[in-house]
Amino acid sequence: MADAAAQAPTRGPLVARDRLWHPPAYAPGYKTSVTRAPSRALIAAPSTLSEETGPVFGRDMLGEMDNNLILNFTGQPAIGERIIMHGRVQDDQGRPVPGVLLEIWQANAGGRYRHKKDGYAAPLDPNFGGGGRTVTDDGGRYEFLTIRPGAYPWPNGPNDWRPMHIHVSVFGSGFGQRLITQMYFEGDPLIARCPIVNTIKDRSAIEQLVAPLDMAAAIPMDCLAYRFDITLRGRRQTFFENRPEGL
């Protein structure tokens, strides 16, 4: 049980996002962004209650198999490389963020998604749905059991392939912290070639999305493990208290 005082605060103004760290809206190497990027500047202002509050999801809403993608579709095991994906959700000062919803989705071991718009030649796995969810514990920790997704081709450049990746959606304690990202796997040579990865300009920001192999968390004779920590937008400390907290 983590010390509650050391957990991320749930009230107060949000720290402004570093928009040079995140990918820009317009990144022509990723062709779809060309017509889906706003051309006008964002309107910036300090956060309000509308961004500082957000929905809460209890662990009691979770089903027993929600974070086990190997078994949660039919109850029979999916085919592929068995892995644990685990880590911690933290704020900008490294304090754990407990009680937040994490949702993931991914292709199967052959790179095929269970989605009616995916027409890739690799077959579906009848026992793999590809979705999972969990809620972080008091220490901000989470884990999924899944199979490592395959790379797959996509119509961008004439021969573009996505690296192996797992999509990750995370909530914070405020709607303004809402984030969707993708986790990549250490050592994948497709990472450096991917136009979606390369929408991010800063190499160290890209490295933040590459999960290292975590042998200490692997289960011998059962599954490997990868570690993916997630850092949410922080909350600003109020140095001068000239107004009620949170307002």
Q: Which is nearer to other proteins, 137 or 218 (CB)?
A: 137
Stretch of residues binding other proteins (CB under 8 A), selected from 140-148, 185-193, 218-226, 230-238? 230-238
Closest CA to 210 of 195, 192, 222: 192
Nearest 5°: phi and psi at 60? -70, -15
CA–CA–CA angle 221, 70, 60 (5° rounding) = 115
SS3 (DSSP) at 61: helix
Q: What residues from 11 to 50 belong to the interface with other proteins (CB under 8 A)?
A: 11, 13-14, 16-19, 21-25, 27, 30, 32-40, 42-50
Out of 7, 85, 97, 105, the residue judged to bind other proteins by CB under 8 A = 105
Stretch of residues binding other proteins (CB under 8 A), selected from 76-84, 135-143, 193-201, 212-220? 193-201
Stretch of residues binding other proteins (CB under 8 A), selected from 91-99, 134-142, 143-151, 213-221? 91-99
121 binds other proteins (CB under 8 A): no
159 binds other proteins (CB under 8 A): no
119 binds other proteins (CB under 8 A): no
By rule CB under 8 A, what count of residues binds other proteins? Answer: 95
Closest CA to 128 of 189, 54, 77: 77
141 binds other proteins (CB under 8 A): no
Q: How far is the CB of 1 from other proteins (least distance, A)?
A: 20
What is the side-by-side order of every strand in the sheet holding 179-185? 131-135, 101-105, 165-170, 179-185, 210-211
Q: What does the alpha-carbon distance between residue 157 and residue 84 come to, in Å, rounded to a whole number?
A: 32
Q: What does the alpha-carbon distance between residue 130 and residue 241 come to, in Å, rounded to a whole number?
A: 47
Is 152 known to be catalytic? yes
Within a 10 A sphere around the Cβ of 125, how many other Cβ atoms?
Answer: 22
5 binds other proteins (CB under 8 A): no
**What residues are labeled active site?**
113, 152, 162, 165, 167
